[in-house]
Structure 1
């Protein structure tokens, strides 16, 4: 007899070797095979070290993302090293994020971004009317919500809710 632990309900499932392994947990009825289950083989330390090393084809764009995320972490650690309180910073960030209507993810490091304010496109923005439309996509006075990443401090902006709706109305005109 062999034993399996359901990854969903953490229940021990005993199955008979003649019948084979269960495909579904008899307790919570979640699948035990397929894309939802992660099987981890425990072996010697040498085998595990070999498996941890990524192959060259597995690197690429993700390596760049990991590096930018690591740089962001280093910046925060440096803040702690010069007398800053990282726990206080994280606590303050959570309080701010809890009160935001939108919490976008940073396109660089995928951490959450804090709302920092808004700005308008300004007088140097010249709206155009695309062919087939009666009005420009954005008004000259369109507002942008400005966000700052809590880890890498990237600054990004998104259209305000009102101007998003105006853009949708402008594009959907007949």
Structure 2
């Protein structure tokens, strides 16, 4: 059996002799053939000389796309997190302590939704009650009654990475909604 080390995730890959090596890593799904390095000129080195970019085995169209759009790919949704948290780290915040605190709180939550923007986990920060005077219910003709009647409670979640806020119905009101929609069945 042939062994290969993935240059991306550094995982040892053992291939079946009959099938032979694959073109992509089964763990990280990056391509294994044509592994290339891209170094971008960021400024000057410590000795004052300018650094040049280095490109290995890559055609011009791929180089141009990576130079123009370096954020493209599967990690597109991760960019806001990186920049948001980096800003606070540069401001002197202890991100390790922050992450440890986040983990403790997440471990105690019954429900841990993912942020729709960056896919980090969200913290339950509180609840909010929606009252009759702030809510106009929808009354579908097929039901003949409101889908959800006030008052009801919303759980408020904050993303630990990009700090987006999301709301969802509290457990009791979810059951009430399901009962309302289920009672219209004949």
Q: Same fold (TM over 0.5)?
A: yes
Match of 2:48 in 1: none
Cα distance 1:88–1:48, how it changes in 2: closer, same or farther (>3 A)? Answer: farther
2:151 to 141, 155, 161: 141
For residue 111 of structure 1, report the CA deviation from its aligned partner: 0.9
Cα distance 1:96–1:136, how it changes in 2: closer, same or farther (>3 A)? Answer: same
1:3 aligns with 2:2: yes
For residue 78 of structure 1, report the CA deviation from its aligned partner: 1.6
Structure 2 unaligned spans of 5+: 7-11, 38-55
For residue 54 of structure 1, report the CA deviation from its aligned partner: 8.5
Match of 2:80 in 1: 71
2:173 to 157, 163, 167: 163
For residue 83 of structure 1, report the CA deviation from its aligned partner: 1.5
Tell me the distance in 2 between the aligned counterparts of 1:70 and 1:164: 33
For residue 154 of structure 1, report the CA deviation from its aligned partner: 0.4
Cα distance 1:4–1:54, how it changes in 2: closer, same or farther (>3 A)? Answer: farther
Cα distance 1:158–1:49, how it changes in 2: closer, same or farther (>3 A)? Answer: farther
2:164 to 147, 154, 159: 154
Q: Secondary structure at the match of 1:74?
A: helix
Tell me the distance in 1 between the aligned counterparts of 2:138 and 2:36: 65
In terms of mean alpha carbon deviation, does 149-158 or 118-127 score higher? Answer: 118-127
Structure 1 length as normaliser, TM-score? 0.69
Tell me the distance in 2 between the aligned counterparts of 1:54 and 1:171: 53
Structure 1 unaligned spans of 5+: 23-31
Q: Secondary structure at the match of 1:151?
A: coil
Q: How many residues end up aligned between the 2 structures?
A: 153
Contact 1:4 1:14 in 2 (8 A): no
Match of 1:40 in 2: 32
For residue 162 of structure 1, report the CA deviation from its aligned partner: 1.1
